[in-house]
Amino acid sequence: MSNIRTTARTAGVAIRAVLVMTVLLGLAFPLAITGIGQVAFPTQANGSLIRSDGSPVGSALLGQSFSDKDAKPLPQYFQSRPSASAYDAAASGGSNLGPSNADLIAAIEKRRTDIAEFEGVDPAVIPADALTASASGLDPQISSAYALLQVPRVAAERGMSEDDVRAIVESHIQGPDLGFLGEERVNVLQLNLSLDAATGTRG
């Protein structure tokens, strides 16, 4: 009888502990963290969404394609870094091909040829980030060098002066984190939205 009472008491303590911890860690803690996030970091807590005319058009953290239905790059827009996942957040990842892999080498050379023709530049001046996909396949930024390389083509397509387009690019250049981590970069979606705003067009 004593063993039954001990077992029942132990079970009761365990059940109460589970209920208390469920309320604290499964309800109160998540709600508190969500509340803090919404108050202190609302943009980050909501996915760093970028809006145009009040509607979300993407995230500052996720790259996207600026191409037509046939996957051809739209010449009036700055182009993103190549993506091994076709900019699909559900399939984020790189190609996992090594630098000596024949398929990777062929892909890079094709990109070099295509970009040189598209931009009307010497293949030798094309930056590395324009030729290689990132590890995530979702990089939202390109190097400032790649952005500036695209200025003449975008300016011609939009009927703008190169100086005006270059000024917009330069206003979007982000420096290295903490002043020394990484390189200068440009968020492609934000840059293209600024161009649309400057010319009164919509993507």
Q: Dump pLDDT digits (tens) for 128-138.
A: 999 999 888 89
Cβ atoms of residues 62 and 80 within 8 Å: no
What's the pLDDT score for residue 202? 65
Phi and psi torsions of 138, nearest 5°: -130, 20
Most confidently predicted of 19-33, 59-73, 108-122 = 108-122
Residues linked to residue 158 through DSSP beta bridges, in sequence order: none
Q: What is the mean pLDDT of residues 160-176?
A: 96
Average pLDDT of the chain to the nearest whole number: 91
Torsions phi, psi of 59, nearest 5?
-125, 145
Bridge-partner residues for 49, per DSSP?
A: 59
DSSP string, 181-200: BS--EEEHHHHHHHHHHHHT
Confidence category of residue 1, pLDDT binned at 50, 70, 90: low
Q: Which two tokens stand for residue 124?
A: 């030798």
- Residues 64-112 have pLDDT tens digits of 999 999 989 999 999 999 998 888 888 888 888 898 999 999 999 999 9
* pLDDT, greater one: 56 or 189: 189
> Cα–Cα distances in Å, from 200 out to 51, 96, 155, 196, 203?
16, 41, 14, 6, 10
Q: Which two tokens stand for residue 160?
A: 């703008």
pTM above 0.75, yes or no: yes
pLDDT of residue 21: 93
